[in-house]
Structure 1
């Protein structure tokens, strides 16, 4: 884990999860706080990527059309 992330201030959160799920996690030695943080980080990353793709969709489509019509940039200078 990145030491900057490990040193970040933490705040308590009240969550409600199924008792059986909590018990299974505890029996397996799963750290709920750490697992939740990792899962949230992954979900945040996924959603930020989707937002970026949505915000840049027109530019990506324009670039793909250009490559489709004219080929990749500098293709004429390739030696392979």
Structure 2
């Protein structure tokens, strides 16, 4: 599981990752609690967090967003 902490544009990130396969990793949105977005991932590793972070940064809004991505064991 990964958690993405972000104050703005959470819906944008959900649409960007939910149901997608990015670099061989499947992302599925689970829930939102306050500023935290929880995603189930097919590969339980730090790589899943790194790939999600890179995908967000490469998106059209990514350079302007403030966010943190962490892998949860």
* TM interval, short-chain normalised: under 0.3
The structure in which a higher percent of residues are helix is 1
Q: TM-score, normalised to structure 1's length?
A: 0.23
The structure with the larger Rg is 1
The structure in which a higher percent of residues are strand is 2
Q: TM-score, normalised to structure 2's length?
A: 0.25
